[in-house]
Structure 1
Amino acid sequence: MGEDGSAAVVLDAERWLELRPLRALLDAGVSVAEIARQTGLNRRTVKKYLSQEAPMSVPRRVVPAGHRTPVLGPFGHVIDAWLRAELLLKGTVIHERLVAQYGFTGHYQRVKLYLQEARPRIAAEMGIGPDELAGLHRRFEVVPGAQAQVDWGDEGGILAHVGIPKVYSFHMVLSYSRDPFCCFTTSQDLATFWRCHRRAFAHFGGVPKSIVYDRTKTVVRRHVAPGVAVPLHPEAVAFAGHYDFDVDVLAAYRPTGKGRVERQVTIVRDHVLAGRGFASIEELDAAFAAWVPLRRARTHRTHGEVIGVRAARDHAALRPIPPRPYRVAERHLRHVGKDCLVAFAGNLYSVPARRVRHRQLVEIRATAGTVTLHTTMPGPGGETLLASHPRAVGRGARIVDPAHWDGLPDGHTRAVTTGDPPAPPARPRPPATAGGPLQALLNRAAAAQVTVDRRPLSVYDQLTGTAPFTARSASKDA
């Protein structure tokens, strides 16, 4: 350290610059201990530098001889110029442009560290405070027919009293005119999502050139790191190709990118749903359809025109709807159970017992209204369909065609007993024969069925007038 303590002053200045941006947290009520935990510094160090002002004078560093110039040095003025033109320009974009236009060979982290110092400095030059900078976003306008935005709304148990536990609202808004569309569903699955698109296209009378989405699983196949191309769901690619529109997926955590439809979700709740009772999905859709003319008659506060007038230009610029609709079907593989039932979405669907075996793998193709089950390998005639059922609403249902169980044991041969010996069945009397009793005796089969009367021996003693048989036998014994 120099005699004037310059090294200590430089260290204090660096530490102050590092912790100064955290002063806002301290002013907002965050404890010093919490700030220290987030920064990894000692609590006393944080308290020291957040409680003082900037050092009065910071001596300039002396670059030793032979020390190379930082690799970002020649490009600093270029980055500053870009920031003056667009203060919120992303660091990844700046790095890409430096590499492509100026041959920059440094790592993105160097650009990131430079922006941490340069962006607040440029903002101060432009008279923008730190709080204002954090809440800024770029507003954009589009030409008629160019864009629509899509989002879901969760309406909760609005129909729980009629046995529908959950209701969702699907929203599409044309970005140029803010003309709205909304319909209500009980599911957010793939088939329902794209079926709502077809209804929206019919409502507007055409297809926009692009549609903005967030990273929903019905559009994005999986999440990726920032700066990496987002892989789209195959059905989203097929649907967009059929209707000829571009899929525009927002970056993660960027709700302002589709603020028009985000605002529309709240407007529909306030003007259509609030304070009303409904008994079905159809009543919800009818309530929105009745409100649309009122919405189109209003003057929008942003573009200053009547929404219906501007919507007419928007509709005229939309692309035509293809004559043949594209129907999206969810495809899943499931195993057949011992009871010839296949589980899907919390419900059970039957398949023919004569055409499947236990644990056989079958393919489920589900749309919003039907569930069809297919074999994975086509039969001799190329047929794969095993069964077709209406799609169950909710969970826990069993959709069974009784004919699918033909040939399976039904339990009709099973018998039970209480343990008591069963009574012998009564023998029916044989029919009278033409030959009388003698003929009946000669007939062996009939003779076995002749009923013979039984009498005691005393009856015969009385008939002959002799002593009883039992008494005579007793005297001889004496």
Structure 2
Amino acid sequence: MTIPPDLAAQILRLHHAEKWPTGTIADQLGVHHSVVRRVLEQEGVPTAAITRSSKADPFVPFIVATLEKYPRLTASRLYQMVKERGYDGRPDHFRSIVARYRPAPPVEAYLRLKTAPGDQAQVDWGHFGKITVGQARRPLFAFVIVLSYSRAIFLRFFPGQQMSYFLAGHQAAFARWNGVPRTLLYDNLKSVVLERVGDAIRFNDQIHAFAGHYRYEPRPVAPYRGNEKGRVERAIRYVRDNFFPARTFDSLEDINEQADRWCETVSLDRPWPEDRRLTVRDAYDRERSTLRPLPSTDFPCHERKEVRVGKTPYVRFDRNDYSVPHTFARKLVIVVADLDTVRVIDRSQRVIATHPRSFDAGRQIEDERHIEALKEAKGHARKGRQTDRLSHLAPSSTELIRALAERHRALGRHVADLELLLVSYGAERLEEAIREALEKGTPHPQAVRHILERDQEARGEKAALPLPLPDDPRIHGMRVRTHDLRDYDRLDEDPTQNDSEE
């Protein structure tokens, strides 16, 4: 707390002129005695501290020695150690005693880091809550990269921190600047550093390949050295304070369009910290020509994932289902995705499906050609099952169907007609009627029907009614034993006729 100058003057006057003690000054001015003591100590006036005996006095040498050896030891642990040695005081009071004797950490001074134009950029993520896409709630992260010399900021929002997003953020920044800094400074992110022991660093293989493609040096900062990447941390704080508050957006594309405009206007027009007579835009114009040129090709930043197609022709990727040709059911394929597109490729690297990417959840993204091809295949399969059954129960039907095909007839409808005749008249009668129709040169289901009805009428039987059944092999393969139905015919007899005969 800052002590007002007029209060400090009153304290000094009452002490020197009136000879009041510290406690009296504090009571009369309504301040704490530590405030009075601090003012007097700043003026070099020696003050005698009031010391009272305490239960902890016998343990002070042990406390001091332990804190010198373990300066970061917690008060609660030290309290347990002293309690085991006979201390019976309260833990809350003990904390104030520990604070009195704990050695103050040494104050560390830092050099102001200066970089040459085009020499360095700093990279980090910032978390900005969540974004709603349809029925999905996804995390919203800001990828921020700042040129260390000019302080030019590149800002891009992503729905996560995956490596594909991390590399895509770099690539978009390099394209915006039309160049690459010589060194990129990172925090010890898992996207960059897999393992670190002292100065021995094991980099992520993908970041090594990416850095090699763009010819820059990836350099992680030393642990607990936040000052080394202070420019990107201040840039993220600037985004939080200047760009994000009270901003509305309805999609990821919307907020990124707004971020691009902000980076090109407000962010570049702020004063340059090294010389406030200039703007960041002025320094950026000077730095752009010193960046290394871009390579002739882009690095592949897509997300790749091997998935297995289920029994339905869809692949599951990022909480949504994308259609594939039905011929790939139950096969392994590879999904390759960026922010805009999802592509599915087979084991030979051939693209079998392409869809716009969705960040919603639970959606089915379909290519109508995949669905129509599946329907057509299922229709042919159903016709094939019907034809196989007819060929088995009525072998002459094969020749009849071949004759229909030669005459360019609609086979599906005619096969269905033969199926109904099979159900209505049975396999034996149908086989005889088909052979007769073929012998007469009339290979058509209507001719077969006419023969069946003629024979049925000649036998004095009632006409069979067609009974369409569902396409279920359990029903079509069912065998029902026939029974003598003459007992049921007696129900139609007139009982009065029998009485008259008697």
With the shorter chain as reference, the TM-score category is 0.5 to 0.7
Return the offset for 1:447.
5.3
Matched, 1:175 2:148: yes
| CA 1:324–1:364: 2 relative to 1, 3 Å | same
Residue 267 (structure 1) aligns with: 238
Q: Which has the higher helix share?
A: 2
Residue 231 of structure 1 is matched in structure 2 by 202
Residue 295 (structure 1) aligned to one of 258, 261, 267:
267
Q: Percent identity among equivalent residues? A: 29
Counterparts in 2 of 1:248 and 1:473: CA distance versus 1, 3 Å: closer
Give the structure 2 partner of residue 34 of structure 1: 77
Assess if the C-alpha contact under 8 Å between 2:136 and 2:360 holds in 1.
no
Residues 41-79 of structure 1, C-alpha deviations (whole Å, 9 max, x = no match): 75749979x67999xxxxxxxxxxxxxxxxxxxxxxxxx
Aligned 8 A contact 1:350 1:387 in 2: yes
Aligned partner of 2:294 among 318, 321, 338: 321
Q: CA-to-partner distance for each residue in 1:178-224, whole Å, 9 max, x for gaps?
A: 1111122333322222222222112223111111122333333x334
Distance 1:39 1:258 in 2: 42
SS in 2 for 1:295: coil
CA displacement at 1:298 relative to structure 2:
2.6
RMSD: 4.6
Q: Is the contact between residue 134 and residue 360 of structure 2 (CA under 8 Å) also seen in structure 1?
A: no
Q: CA separation of 1:170/1:300 partners in 2, compared to 1, >3 Å: closer, same or farther?
A: same
Q: 1:190 touches 1:329 (CA, 8 Å); kept in 2?
A: no
Q: Distance in 1 between matches of 2:135 and 2:328?
A: 39
Letter in 1 for 2:65: L
- Deviation string for 1:429-478 (max 9, x for gaps)? xxxxxxxxxxxxxx9877558799xxxxxxxxxxxxxxxxxx99999x79
Supply the AA of the counterpart residue of 1:373: V
**Is the 2:135–2:360 contact (alpha carbons within 8 Å) kept by the matching residues of 1?**
no
Q: Corresponding residue for 1:283?
A: 254
| 1:228–1:397 CA distance, 2 compared to 1 (3 A) | farther
1:437 paired residue number: none
User: Quick one: distance in 2 between partners of 1:326 and 1:52?
Assistant: 55
Whole-Å Cα distance in 2 between the matches of residues 368 and 397 of structure 1? 17
Q: Is the 8 A contact 1:207 1:319 kept in 2?
A: yes
Offset, 1:23: 7.7
Alignment CA distance shift 1:33-1:190 (3 Å): closer
In structure 2, distance between residues paired with 1:237 and 1:189: 16
Query: How has the CA–CA distance of structure 1 residues 332 and 38 changed in structure 2, closer, same or farther, with 3 Å as cutoff?
Result: farther
Q: In 1, distance between residues paired with 2:213 and 2:246?
A: 40
Deviation at 1:285, TM superposition (A): 3.0
C-alpha separation between the residues in 2 aligned to 1:19 and 1:163? 52
Counterparts of 1:139 and 1:259 in 2: how far apart (Å)?
11
| Contact kept in structure 2, 1:152 and 1:168, CA below 8 Å | yes
1:339 deviation in Å?
Answer: 2.5
Give the aligned partner of residue 392 of structure 1.
358
- Per the TM alignment, residue 267 of structure 1 is displaced from its structure 2 partner at its CA by 0.9
Q: State the alpha-carbon separation in 1 of the partners of residues 127 and 294 from structure 2.
A: 29
- State yes or no: 1:194 paired with 2:242: no
Give the TM-score of the pair, scaled to structure 2.
0.55
Per the TM alignment, residue 259 of structure 1 is displaced from its structure 2 partner at its CA by 1.4
Provide the rounded CA distance (Å) in 2 between the counterparts of 1:185 and 1:201: 17
1:330-388 CA distance string (max 9 Å, x none): 333333323343333333334333245x3x43333333333333344x3xxxx544433
Deviations 1:137-183 (A, max 9, x none): 45421111011111122222355699664332221100111111112
SS in 1 for 2:345: strand
Partner residue in 2 for 1:18: 66
Alignment CA distance shift 1:218-1:24 (3 Å): closer
The alignment partner of 1:157 has SS state of strand
The residue type equivalent to 1:19 in the other structure is L
1:114-129, aligned counterparts within 5 Å? none
Partner of 1:250: 221
Residue segments in structure 2 that go unaligned for 5+ positions in a row? 1-59, 386-423, 426-449, 461-495
For 1:346 and 1:265, locate their aligned partners in 2 and report how far apart those are by CA, in whole Å.
30
394 and 22 in structure 1: CA distance in 2 versus 1, 3 angstrom threshold: same
Query: What does residue 126 of structure 1 align with?
Result: none
Taking the aligned partners of 2:245 and 2:371, their CA distance within structure 1 comes to 45
**Deviation for aligned residue 1:265:** 1.2
Partners of 2:314 and 2:287 in 1: CA distance: 49
> How many residue pairs end up in the alignment?
336
Which amino acid is 2:78 matched to? I
TM-score (norm 1): 0.57
Q: Which of 149-158 and 37-46 deviates more? A: 37-46
> Tell me, what secondary structure is at the counterpart of 1:230?
strand
Are the counterparts in 2 of residues 350 and 404 from structure 1 also a CA contact under 8 Å?
no
CA contact (8 A) 1:213 1:247 kept: yes
Find the counterpart in structure 1 of residue 38 from structure 2.
none
CA separation of 1:404/1:396 partners in 2, compared to 1, >3 Å: closer, same or farther? farther
Any idea what SS the aligned residue of 1:191 has?
Answer: helix
User: Which residue identity lines up with residue 67 of structure 2 in the other structure?
Assistant: L
Amino acid at match of 1:300: W
Q: Does 2:266 match 1:310?
A: no
Call closer, same or farther: CA 1:445–1:138 in 2, change over 3 Å.
Answer: same
Deviation at 1:239, TM superposition (A): 1.7
2:265 is the counterpart of 1:217: no
CA distance in 2 between partners of 1:44 and 1:132 (Å): 33
Deviation for aligned residue 1:260: 0.8
Query: Would the aligned equivalents of 2:325 and 2:353 in 1 still touch at CA under 8 Å?
Result: yes
Alpha carbons of 1:21 and 1:474: their partners in 2 closer, same or farther (altered >3 Å)? closer
Aligned residue for 2:390?
none
User: Match for residue 113 of structure 2?
Assistant: 140
8 Å CA contact 1:162–1:279 kept in 2: the answer is: no
Partner of 1:117: none
**Against the structure 1 CA distance between its residues 375 and 291, is the aligned structure 2 distance closer, same or farther, given a 3 Å change threshold?**
closer
